Structure 1
Amino acid sequence: MNYEYISVEREGKLTLVTLQRPEAHNALNAAAHEELEHAFNAFAEDDQQWVAIITGSGSKAFCAGHDLKQQASGGGLTTPSTGFGGLASRFDLNKPVIAAVNGVAMGGGFELALACDIIVAAPTAVFALPEPKVGLAALAGGLQRLPRLIGLKRSMGMLLTGRRVTAAEGRELGFVNEVAEDDVIVAARRWAESILACSPMSVRATKEAVLRGLDTPIEQALIEEWEYPQMKAMLASQDAVEGPKAFAEKRQPSWTGH
């Protein structure tokens, strides 16, 4: 696919996806949704790509959500089967995704960030789910993910008012991992490098077990996690041999992802 509204760069085992509609605060129209679904499909299927970062172009916005101008002109709220931005309803992606929030993350833009595993925010970033102010609701995961992340009362304080939250407050509430002191992409790359230093088999098994265990009683999850596909693949992998061997030999492991 030739991308018009996003760019995709592959740097070693890292995929960098950038929203490219700065004139519209990186709001997503129908074509942008399709491009993002294609990009994340390619990331999921490529064994040589282990971590992804998603960010927005320009300094003002990460993503302002749906393109409401398109909706107002009859374009509707159509999104791919994988959800807002091709990510919000993608529940089978075991590779980690980092949101580098460089500015405003509103509505679906905030929900896109919430669908990622780690959120790194610029000090100027602002988060909100303002859908009730325009007669809508945060149906791209916000209503479900935010309470699970920060609790019922804190999330209701945002969801029922549509109020804006700064990066610093997002860090205090618990949905922002880091407020970047330097460039947000530099900070996101540091997180990616830390993940890439680990076995991708272990990382995928960990993500799968954590997410599948969220709504499972712990005594049941402790039994079931051994049978999860990514966990079984990890335990049978070359990496599971290489890790202890490298530790015993006092050297850095050489991960193969197999």
Structure 2
Amino acid sequence: MSEEVLTEVDNGVLIVTINRPEAKNAMTKAAAEGIAAAMDRLDAEDDLRVGILTGAGGTFCSGMDLKGFLRGESPSIEGRGFGGIVQAPPKKPLIAAVEGYALAGGLELMIACDLVVAHKDAKFGIPEAKRGLVAAAGGVMMLPDQIPERVAMELALTGDFIGSERAYELGFINRVTDGSALDGAKELAAKIAENGPLAVRVSKQIMKESRGWAMDERYDKQAQLIGPVFVSEDAREGAAAFAEKRKPNWKGK
């Protein structure tokens, strides 16, 4: 994996760090490839329950590396999009731990995550219009799904930033921290990792996919996905652990 992306495992949590602090973690092709590889690992290894995406040096990601853009480099992966993730997020939960700035493509990376923990001084925005560009890695399409449309429109057309307090009020982020956003993300990841991995994965899948289902098909489509969960070893183990007043021993099957 590229040195532009670092990984470590902490109690079943895969921590993925964009490691270009000298460039405010601006996204390059190599970094996108590193993130894509890390997401493959997250989904492939049974012992990994949750992922965290963060940035080194006090910044999450400032967007596309413009120097690379001028050289003709695209920080995208075919079929996976910007940063190796925006078009193909992992099946397992992914938390963004945001310090400093999540701007342009950096905000779009954050949008691709399922949950967000941010430092109180973090800033968010899609300033592409200020550079004659469009937030094409999901910003102008996905932002109106996550915050009110008129607020999203203002951010896209003005390129202005919002802070953590406003983002939290809008329901755009889950938690605001005084200390390390990564520590806050680890706390949230630990709560998720305590739960049944099959149930967590399928819950995420249904919440993501069901918005595109026709109303008269929703329960039938859900039944197809939850059926295997309810007859799994983990479902029996969860019930037994509750009855015996102990922590469950999940097997992921």
Place the TM-score, normalised by the shorter chain, in its bin.
over 0.9
CA contact (8 A) 2:95 2:114 kept: yes
Q: Deviations over 1:163-207 (max 9, x none)?
A: 101011111111111111221111101100110111011101100
Aligned equivalent of 2:236: 241
CA contact (8 A) 1:33 1:80 kept: no
Aligned equivalent of 2:160: 163
Structure 1 residue 41 displacement after superposition? 1.3
Aligned equivalent of 1:214: 211
* Local SS of the residue matching 1:105: strand
Aligned equivalent of 1:232: 227
Structure 1 residue 219 displacement after superposition? 4.2
Following the alignment from structure 2 to structure 1, what is the Cα–Cα distance between the partners of residues 228 and 209?
A: 16
Structure 1 residue 234 displacement after superposition? 1.6
Aligned equivalent of 2:56: 57
Q: Deviations over 1:74-114 (max 9, x none)?
A: 324544421222111115x3200000001101111000001
* Local SS of the residue matching 2:120: coil
Aligned equivalent of 1:187: 184
Following the alignment from structure 1 to structure 2, what is the Cα–Cα distance between the partners of residues 227 and 78?
A: 33
Aligned equivalent of 1:15: 14
Aligned equivalent of 1:136: 133
Structure 1 residue 152 displacement after superposition? 1.4
Q: Deviations over 1:144-174 (max 9, x none)?
A: 2211111211211111111101011111111
Q: Deviations over 1:126-146 (max 9, x none)?
A: 000011111111111112221
Structure 1 residue 236 displacement after superposition? 2.7
* Local SS of the residue matching 1:160: helix
Q: Is residue 73 from structure 1 mapped to residue 71 from structure 2 by the alignment?
A: yes
Q: Deviations over 1:233-255 (max 9, x none)?
A: 32231111011111111222111
Deviates more, 1:192-201 or 1:208-217: 208-217
The runs of at least 4 consecutive aligned structure 1 residues that moved more than 3 Å come to: 76-80
Aligned equivalent of 1:39: 38
CA gap 1:78/1:98 in 2 versus in 1, 3 angstroms: closer
Residues 187-206 of structure 1: matches in 2 within 5 Å? 187-206=184-203
CA contact (8 A) 2:76 2:83 kept: no
Work out which of the residue numbers 233, 249, 252 in structure 2 matches 1:254. Answer: 249
Structure 1 segments unaligned to the other structure (5+ residues): none
TM-score after normalising by structure 2: 0.95
How large is the Cα RMSD of the aligned pairs? 1.4
CA contact (8 A) 1:201 1:233 kept: no
The total of aligned residue pairs comes to: 253
Aligned equivalent of 1:124: 121
Aligned equivalent of 2:88: 90
Following the alignment from structure 2 to structure 1, what is the Cα–Cα distance between the partners of residues 157 and 72?
A: 27
Structure 2 segments unaligned to the other structure (5+ residues): none
Q: Is residue 177 from structure 1 mapped to residue 174 from structure 2 by the alignment?
A: yes
Following the alignment from structure 2 to structure 1, what is the Cα–Cα distance between the partners of residues 205 and 74?
A: 33
Q: Which amino acid aligns with 1:163?
A: D
Aligned equivalent of 1:150: 147
Q: Which amino acid aligns with 1:7?
A: L
Q: Deviations over 1:6-46 (max 9, x none)?
A: 10101231100001000000001111111111111121111
